[in-house]
Amino acid sequence: MASYEGASWRNSMRVRFDFSNLLAGVVGDENGVSEQALRGLTGQAAAAAKWLQQLRAGGKAEWLDLPYQREITERVVAAGEAIAQRCDTFVVLGIGGSALGAIALQIALHHPFYNQLGPEQRGHRPRIYVLDNVDPDFVAGALDLLDLKHTVFNVVTKSGSTSETMAQLAIVRERLQSAVGSVAAEQIVATTDPSQGDLRTLAEREGYRIFDIPPTVGGRFSVLSPVGLLPAAVSGVDVNALLAGAAEADRYCRDDDLFDNPALLSAASLYLLDQQGKRITVMMPYSQRLCGVADWFRQLWAESLGKIKMVDGTVRHIGLTPVTALGVTDQHSQVQLYMDGPSDKVIIFLGVDRFDRTLKIPSTKLGLASLDYLGGHSLNELINAERLATTVALTANGRPNYTILLPEVNAFTVGQVLYTLEVQTALIGKLLGIDPFNQPGVEAGKAATYALMGRKGYEAEAKRIAKQMGGNRWIL
Ligand code: PA5
């Protein structure tokens, strides 16, 4: 029996949420949410929770069911093993939601210097790179590292047409063909829409292995689909534990009682605080391993909530601005702003009870005040004391914040965090009255790129852009 199947282990690995520092009684009436305001929102919050479960029941939010896709998971795990045997490097080509989940999982669930470790220390798993930009120096630099004969590429694009990913694919495909000839297709895996898009067409034509992204799973909600799971499985992450963690969170994120559902309570609180002018959401993990989760959340929050139109068609510019910070590093930069700058932020701390490693500070006394008090403690104690210190100082200054506490960073706890944050994002979207699942602004940027790069069908857009740019003048 896997450890996550045992109830007592699961209980000991439950992620905990401490919302007390959001309350007006703690941070002051102007800065916090009052119990009365929360109680006033219970009906609307319950309706939001019901709406989400109804979407799910109607097959329109398949991302909520990803923890239970047993057949897909088995295929992903089997492919992950087979790919790991045949290559020493696995490269993901994708951008936005097609990259950030994979990055978050790699950073959270591996040695911090995984790619630099020798094959034995990596458990004979491939090195993993995610190329989520088209900066030529970056992409060419990555290609310099690769032995193409022993590299597998995973092209990930839901639309099957995003210019960045398709450009990378074109480059890689040709280089692979030169390097390995007719077997090039065996070294490309496509993750894309089940029935449409140019990547699908090419993959079928050339015989790539293909993984489907379910139709109603958008990029930023796809981390638990093959988009995130395949790179994770290739590198040896226990994807079943990850999904079990997400299923655990599903149990506590379905409730329509605000006070029993952490995703709903955080969505409701952040919604109320947004109305009080606290429009910036800072995610600050006190764990280097969770910095990728914060980056992933930044995209989820920004792209889901930043909208011009309400669902009823009213034009209003809505959105909470996500910012990431890293504890303790950013205690020496951004925390000054959070303490004393404008009171327009809510800080979400991600804390970790037990780190995998313990690093003791030697207790040798050197007769120096700045060293002697540290002796005998550990870096584990220091990082958590600093998290607590920042929380206490911000709270005393009337800066609302809350803490998501992971007992450990492992696949099961990370699965809970990712799932909870996805549900929280969908729910606050509903409370804000917008559609959290579309991204017209991002699509507009994609269309403008197609036009500027001469894609067929975008001639009118190209003309419009040329006209718009006609008046631009560089100052140098
Ligand atoms: O979350 C989203 O929908 C976006 O960030 C997409 O993931 C991103 O634009 C890439 O799109 P695609 O997967 O179609 O290449």
CB of 464 within 8 A of CB of 470?
no
How do the domains of the chain map onto residue ranges? 9-58+241-432, 63-239
> CA distances (Å), 442 to each of 200, 290, 302, 392, 464, in order?
22, 26, 11, 38, 18
- Report yes or no on whether pTM surpasses 0.75: yes
Give the binding-site residues of ligand 1, using a 6 Å CB cut-off: 95-98, 157-159, 162, 165, 218-220, 303, 439, 442
Closest atom of ligand 1 to CA, residue 439 = 3
CB of 289 within 8 A of CB of 107?
yes
332 catalytic residue (yes or no): yes
Distance 301 CA to ligand 1 centre (A): 14
Catalytic residue from among 303, 345, 422, 430:
303
Helix-helix angle 136-145:163-180, to 10 degrees: 30
* Alpha-carbon gap, residue 422 to 54, rounded angstroms: 16
CB of 4 within 8 A of CB of 243?
no
Yes or no: domain 63-239 corresponds to CATH 3.40.50.10490: yes
Distance 95 CA to ligand 1 centre (A): 6
* Alpha-carbon gap, residue 381 to 371, rounded angstroms: 15
Tokens 């000991």 identify what position? 12
Name the nearest CA neighbour of 380 among 403, 408, 404: 408
* Alpha-carbon gap, residue 184 to 174, rounded angstroms: 9
Closest atom of ligand 1 to CA, residue 95 = 10
For 423-448, letters b (16+ CB in 10 Å) and e give bbbbbbbbbbebebbebeebeeeeeb
CATH class of 9-58+241-432: alpha beta
Regarding beta strands 209-212 and 280-285, do their DSSP bridges make them parallel or antiparallel, or are they unpaired? unpaired
Identical topology for domains 9-58+241-432 and 63-239: yes
Distance 111 CA to ligand 1 centre (A): 28
Could you read off the pLDDT tens digit of each residue along the chain, which spans 476 residues?
Answer: 788 889 999 999 999 999 999 999 999 999 999 999 999 999 999 999 999 999 999 999 999 999 999 999 999 999 999 999 999 999 999 999 999 999 999 999 999 999 999 999 999 999 999 999 999 999 999 999 999 999 999 999 999 999 999 999 999 999 999 999 999 999 999 999 999 999 999 999 999 999 999 999 999 999 999 999 999 999 999 999 999 999 999 999 999 999 999 999 999 999 999 999 999 999 999 999 999 999 999 999 999 999 998 888 888 999 999 999 999 999 999 999 999 999 999 999 999 999 999 999 999 999 999 999 999 999 999 999 999 999 999 999 999 999 999 999 999 999 999 999 999 999 999 999 999 999 888 888 888 899 898 989 999 988 888 888 876 666 66
414 torsion bin: left (phi>0), alpha (psi -120 to 50), beta (else): alpha
